[in-house]
Amino acid sequence: MSVFDIHMCIDTLVAEINEERQNSVTEIDARTIKHIYRRLDFCMIPCLWLLYFFAFSAKSIISVSLTMNFSQGDSLQQLINLSSREVSIGLSLFYIGYVVFEVPSNLIIIYITPRFWLSETVIFIGITCILHIYITNSSGFYIFRFLLGMIEAGIWPGMAYYLTLYYPSHMIQKRILWYFTAAQISTMSVGFFSIGLQKMNGIANLQGYKWMFLIYGIFSIIAGIITIWLLPPLLTETPITKEELQSSSPIIYGSVIIQSIDSNISDLKISLLYGIIWIANLTGAIAIINISNYYKSRIISFIFCCITVIIGMLILTFSSNTWIQYIGLLTSAFGIGPSVPICMAWCAHIFTSQSNINIAASSALLSGLGNMGSIFTTYTLYKGMRGKDAFKKSNLVICAMMCTSILACLAEKMLLKYCEKSSKRSHAKIHSIVNQ
């Protein structure tokens, strides 16, 4: 099937859904509804998965680039003489750009066709990725990390907003999980792919990490161009609900952490162990989110994620055995995996009845404020990363943050119950006044 044929299928699907919305049909059976959404999934989710795969790869590559060909002195950190503090500043600048431009980017998507905005963003991510091979000093490192964060800002909340245009709130969490798996798989691919690229060190006068930036950048551009034509066109201003049809139709820098646990581990083993972390992350995302969907309980699932991260951090902190520490890292990765999709789906569920601007802004604010944690931990945890007890203080701060997340989750649940009761009382008063 050619790209043209696929695009024709997408247009036909959208026309069918629009026709169902416009017809004065009083009842549509569940099989028809399921068929429509299955076809929509087939058209949309693979494209979003591909876009998120390359978007997430762009910020994962920086981790392995700091350790690739380290024994030959050809890692990014060695070639441009980056200190640990300068690496931390670069990480902060990425998230500063991400946070500052997240809300504006997600508001722009309301006025620009979402498929063009998301695809073009990945194209620019690919271009920025390629430009990383020209970094020669810390200033260039700072500039390109900030630029990448600025460009990437609208991807994650933009995709969540895009889903609300097609799906009701109760269906969004599973779709977010489907394309969120691209994050884990992309990072695994970066870790495993870097093993082979380290063998290309020196070919065409390019270091192994430069080959990685170049190859991923080129494929990101190709993916962005292809998905412009494959993503469904804008269907409607509101999601398709069943009622409508029936009535009118820590991980980013994991390789550095592994190296710090045992400095004698070879460059290739670091890349391999880094990839395994994201297998644990993916496993957690798939397992816990499916359980969350089955029992329809986000709060319990999120609290379980936080507790799992705490257990992993405590193992990593207080164990003296290298491999048990690594198991602690895997445990934390397992807990982190499902937490982001759960939060984004919860946000979409809360604001699904609001206007498009409110939905877009709330998704961007949630993602942006969440990424503020990366800026906070970069400086809060920096001192804890020195000395013989490296990472101990840092890990305990992370445990405290997880406890705060649990309290925030419980507070959110209580506030939602309070708002629901207040809304019911208001409706009851209005109803009694109307009856009088």
Please tell me what DSSP assigns to residue 249. -
Q: What is the pTM of this model?
A: 0.62
Per the CB < 8 A criterion, the answer to whether 210 and 33 are in contact is no
Per the CB < 8 A criterion, the answer to whether 127 and 66 are in contact is no
CA dist 175 and 240 (Å) reads 14
Count other C-beta atoms under 10 Å from residue 242's C-beta.
Answer: 14
CA dist 360 and 237 (Å) reads 12
On the CB side of 7, CA atoms within 13 Å amount to 10
Helix then strand then coil, in percent of the chain rounded to 5, is: 80, 0, 20
Q: Which residue has the tokens 């989110």?
A: 289
Reference 75, options 161, 197, 246, 160; nearest CA is 197
Looking at residue 6, its pLDDT comes to 45
Per the CB < 8 A criterion, the answer to whether 147 and 99 are in contact is no
pLDDT in tens, the chain (436 residues): 444 444 455 455 555 555 554 554 444 566 777 777 888 888 888 999 999 999 988 888 888 888 888 888 888 888 888 887 888 888 888 888 887 887 788 778 777 888 888 999 999 999 999 999 999 899 999 999 999 989 988 787 788 888 878 887 777 778 887 888 888 788 888 888 888 888 888 898 889 899 999 999 999 999 999 998 888 776 544 444 444 333 333 444 455 555 555 555 555 566 567 667 777 877 887 888 788 777 777 888 889 999 999 999 898 888 878 888 888 888 988 888 788 778 877 777 777 666 666 666 676 667 666 666 665 665 555 444 455 555 677 778 888 888 998 998 899 888 888 887 777 777 666 666 666 6
The CATH superfamily assigned to 3-243+251-421 is MFS general substrate transporter like domains (1.20.1250.20)
Q: Which residue has the tokens 């430069």?
A: 210
The helix/strand/coil state of 412 is: helix
Looking at residue 53, its pLDDT comes to 93
Reference 6, options 42, 51, 54; nearest CA is 42
> Residue type for 115, please?
R
CA dist 117 and 131 (Å) reads 21
CA dist 143 and 226 (Å) reads 29
Distances (CA, A) of 58 to 123, 126, 151, 199, 267: 11, 8, 11, 21, 20
CA dist 103 and 150 (Å) reads 11
What are the two backbone dihedrals, phi and then psi, of residue 353, each rounded to the nearest 5 degrees?
-90, 0
CA dist 410 and 254 (Å) reads 30
Q: Where are the domains of the chain?
A: 3-243+251-421
The C-alpha torsion from 195 through 198 and 199 to 203, rounded to 10°, is: 150
